[in-house]
Chain A
Amino acid sequence: MGEYMQRQTAMSAQVVLFCRYLRQAGFPLGPTEEMDALNALCTLPLQNQDNFRLVLRAMLPKSRPQQKKFDQLYQKYWDELTKAVDAKIKQEEEEVLEPRQEQQPKPQQPSLQALKDWLYNKQNDEDEEEELASFSTQEVISAKDFSAFGDEDLEEVTQLIAQIGRSLATRHNRRYKRAKWSPKLDLRRTVRLNMRRGGEMLHLAFQKKPIRKTKLLMFCDVSKSMDLYSRFLVQFMYAFQNVYQQIETFVFSTQLHRVTEQLKEEHFEETLSKLSEEVPDWSGGTRIGESLLQFVEVFAPKYLDGRTIVLIMSDGWDTGNIEALTESMKVLHQKATKVIWLNPLAGNPNFKPSVEGMQAALPYIDVFASAHSVDSLREVVKFFRKGRKIRQIPHS
């Protein structure tokens, strides 16, 4: 009985300590959250251990990944605490009224230390902030090089890419169109509409800038030299395909293949394995020039017009005909709104576009950027939006 009361008395302290423990594990919990949790605990009598857990679980985690993490940490924390407290109580039965810090069990040393630091000097603050900053898995993934990706990162990457795709797909047009409602009045139409009502401005007409539907043409290099990256670039294409209505996708190494239909279908994993089977020269040599020329000759009339953005993803290592490359790039540059070249190698600080193919293509490229991580892709999207001409995106 004594033991039971003992722990209940210490409850709020324990909750606060538990919150600190979670904070060390990267949860963004402040005093407000701690207060909320304690308030929530007050709404229920807590004879029931499960209720206690459920209350904390409802109050403390703020997203799905955090919730999963919470489930693990909760078990761990209280298991160890129970063990330690039991041992402690047997030792010092009479020290019931001692301050809680000293009762803190050994296995929880880190969180106790943190508490002490926090109470007596605030030097530890910086450490804590660092941990908070690195908690979000998305942040970590953003800066990670594509070639270092494992299977487990896939889902998160897809989400990030989908975000990028969405923001790209929702650009606004410059011209105005009629709208049912918008903050902007169409004065001319309003006046006309209300002539029949004796000039009383009863009915208002609005106008807005509709979302512009830019067509997107993607070329992805799947040759041997791009092996490390092509998996993720395909994923990039795949994600785009799902959010972007008007898109055509091609892959090339020595020849050009249209994969739009394949990417529309099925699940990503399947698509990837299917693609690498179906495309005969997957991971083969590179002939960018011939491949692009093939596009210009066969597909261009159908797919290329002034509202198209051309996106080429390649490292520019070309073993084929440079003249063909120059020529086809020229055509693309003339006909498309914009030509963007994403080079995964450009993420390397020492990179210089000295490859012959790259050199030949450079004059015809509007935006040249690295595409080695999600961050860099995001950077690219910014440039899409600003609509700048001929820029090389600096990489930091």
Chain B
Amino acid sequence: MPAFYLQTQQKHFIQLYVGFKYAYLKLSSQNMENKELAKVQKMLHEQGYITEDSIVMSVFLAMQLNKPLLIEGPAGVGKTEIAKVMASALETDLIRLQCYEGLDAPQALYEWNYQRQLLYLKMDEQSSKSVEEKEQTLFGENFLLKRPLLQAITHHKAPVLLIDEVDRADEEFESFLLEVLSDWQITIPEIGTIQATHKPYVVVTSNRVREISEALRRRCMYLWITYPTFEKELNIVRGKVPQIDAKLADQICGFMQEVRKMRLQKIPGIAETLDWAMALTSLHIDHLDKKIVEDTLGIVLKDWQDIRHTQDSLSELFEKVGVIQKLS
């Protein structure tokens, strides 16, 4: 059946069912090769990010459709890392907006460099410029302190905008963010409306401290990342700590898998695994035993209760790790 038939059929049905004018698809991109997807995977891999299909797909679509990507998941599984990898894969800059309680619009958008304006006025006191002229210079780009959101919009090449831990900011900020994310323009009363030169690639991360509003969710694509499987973690460790002993890497990852199954206050993430692997490697250790684990447990677990808890059940843990190794 000819491709053109396929296209008309598709248009026909969307029109029929969705009934919206904008339902005409951009069908031209249909011819794109699957290579694109493989390329993204390769890019991620080259940046040292070892991943699974669902993540590749989400990153790929986020880049293709230029839609914000909302990433949720426990701490330390590499949510922020995705934005960094995306930036270097797209060969563009990463602009980061770290959210915190009490973050408000001026800190995310722009501020006037008040001191500089004053000094300028003072120095310019003797000049014969008219008031209008002075005002023009005073509220020009020179005196504007660009904060992340404005930076992202006015950047010379579409950057990756990372809005980190959005759940820490309060709800008002979230609605403000929605406004920017949908219009891609910022109004500065003294200058006028600044339209985005390029639409940035947006990555929003959340640790689920607070539930994110439905409206923001709907604007975004959703991606859930959780702790890696044994194989994936092993790959990551081997990739990031290449000089590691194979057996040690096995043991570390097995151990981490088991530790995560325990009831802990702070479950260790991939970052902890890597720290531990690096520490043990630099100590020239090639296997785990009880003494070594006890001595270095502080790298993995950051909570006193957790450490005590783990130490108590260390032999049990070892038994389980042993089982895993036999299987693999």
Contact = CB atoms under 8 A, between A and B. Distances in A.
B61 A58 contact: yes
B181 to A, nearest CB: 14
Interface string B102-128: 001011000000110011001000000
Contact of B17 (A66, A115, A138): A115
Interface in B92-107: 101, 104, 106-107
B14 A5 contact: no
A112 to B, nearest CB: 12
A73 interface: no
B25 A55 contact: no
Nearest to B106: A183
B10 interface: yes
Contact of A267 (B72, B210, B263): B263
A34 B25 contact: no
B13 A100 contact: yes
A208 to B, nearest CB: 9
B30 A42 contact: yes
Contacts of A44: 32, 34, 36-37
Nearest to A50: B53
Interface in A43-73: 43-45, 47-48, 50-51, 54-55, 57-59, 61-64, 66-67
A64 B224 contact: yes
A16 B9 CA distance: 14
Contacts of A126: none
B321 to A, nearest CB: 23
A16 B65 contact: no
Contacts of A58: 54, 57-58, 61, 221-223
Nearest to B67: A36
Contacts of B327: none
A51 B64 CA distance: 15
A13 B214 CA distance: 27
Interface stretch (A199-207, A274-282, A313-321, A356-364): A199-207
B72 A64 contact: yes
Given A63-B217, A200-B118, A201-B118, A39 B1 contact: no
A8 interface: yes
B235 to A, nearest CB: 20
A267 B264 CA distance: 8
A62 B217 contact: yes
Contacts of A38: 14, 25
A42 B27 contact: yes
B222 A45 contact: no
Contacts of B54: 54, 57-58
A121 interface: no
Interface string B23-41: 1011101111110110000
A12 B10 contact: yes
Nearest to B34: A45
Nearest to B58: A58
7 contacts: A9-B10, A17-B17, A42-B29, A51-B57, A55-B57, A202-B115, A202-B119
Given A13-B13, A62-B70, 12 more contacts: A12-B10, A12-B25, A31-B19, A40-B61, A42-B30, A43-B29, A43-B64, A45-B30, A58-B221, A58-B223, A64-B72, A67-B224
